[in-house]
């Protein structure tokens, strides 16, 4: 079964990325045919600085390899290096009803948060559909906020198939119910766009500062705490049920539980940090791995695009 997902290089990978997608996709790669791309074209909706974008691409590759990605088991590549993504996106755009894009929740949510409502941001679901359909992906692991985009992908695939003959597989979204949305330090969904993240490989002092800034209410040390708080939403991935229950029942202050959480996060990622430091000294190796993945992806993308063109031209 082919599984496909992407991650934007618009900032340093964070806990939301790791528990929402990165850990999951690495585990799936042991059994499934996994395609993983660095979504640098999607990142252009928010990143307009070349150096920042290039650093982000390198960082994403470095982080995945540090966490255990095997290039022989995962087709790992940069989105922009495969021209078929944008070509197929334009073909799909000619079949896309305007109303379908206007109903996209993600677009409305992002502009409500202050992100510039560019044409690229509006067009995002079509490019995402091309990302998926170009490789005959069957399963697309996504967060709750991206589920609608997979539904749009299915709508476009169905319309193309009905118009020009069966060409595309209809992909299905897969949402881990335990990690649908991971809160950021401000209580919203953890997102680089919102600036509320806890980075995977942050320096210990920076990590502690971030954790200590997680929003909490004003309840006293001995008062029962809110089980739906951002702090608990993050802590459940690192602290035991006993530690969390002890805090929720009262008797442990916010500062104490945050200090414990910061230590657990740091210890969890310590082995990966060490591997990352070693890999970082060999950027040529990182580039060779991406080139290897791009060659594999290009063969499949070229074949699919030729099939698409043959259907209607």
Residues with catalytic annotation? Answer: 110, 189, 192
Cβ neighbours around 288 below 10 Å, total: 12
**Do β-strands 33-38 and 172-174 pair in parallel, antiparallel, or remain unpaired?**
unpaired
Cβ neighbours around 186 below 10 Å, total: 14
Residue 313 has which token pair?
């031209």
End-to-end CA distance of the chain: 30
């Amino acid at each position: 079964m082919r599984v496909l997902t992407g991650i934007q290089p618009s900032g340093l990978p964070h806990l939301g990325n790791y528990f929402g997608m990165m850990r999951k996709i690495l585990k799936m790669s042991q059994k499934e045919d996994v395609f993983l791309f660095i979504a640098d074209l999607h990142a252009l909706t928010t990143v307009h600085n070349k150096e920042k974008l290039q650093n982000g691409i390198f960082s994403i590759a470095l982080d995945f390899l540090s966490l255990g990605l095997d290039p022989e088991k995962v087709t790992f590549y940069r989105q922009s290096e495969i021209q078929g993504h944008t070509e197929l996106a334009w073909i799909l755009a000619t079949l896309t009803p305007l109303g379908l894009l206007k109903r996209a929740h993600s677009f409305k949510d992002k502009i409500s948060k202050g992100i510039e409502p560019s044409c690229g941001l509006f067009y995002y679901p079509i490019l995402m559909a091309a990302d998926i359909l170009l490789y005959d992906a069957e399963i697309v692991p996504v967060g709750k906020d991206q589920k609608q985009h997979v539904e749009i992908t299915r709508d476009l695939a169905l319309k193309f198939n009905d118009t020009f003959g069966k060409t595309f597989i209809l992909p299905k979204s897969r949402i881990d119910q335990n990690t649908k949305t991971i809160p950021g330090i401000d209580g919203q969904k953890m997102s680089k766009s919102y600036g509320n993240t806890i980075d995977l490989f942050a320096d210990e002092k920076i990590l502690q500062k971030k954790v200590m800034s997680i929003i909490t209410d004003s309840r006293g040390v001995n008062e029962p705490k809110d089980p739906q708080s951002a702090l608990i939403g993050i802590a459940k991935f690192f602290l035991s049920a006993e530690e969390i229950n002890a805090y929720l029942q009262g008797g442990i202050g916010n500062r104490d539980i945050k200090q414990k959480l910061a230590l657990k996060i740091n210890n969890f990622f310590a082995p990966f940090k060490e591997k990352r430091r070693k890999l970082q000294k060999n950027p040529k190796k990182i580039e060779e791995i991406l080139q290897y993945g791009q060659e594999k992806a290009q063969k499949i993308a070229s074949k699919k695009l030729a099939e698409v063109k043959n259907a209607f031209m």
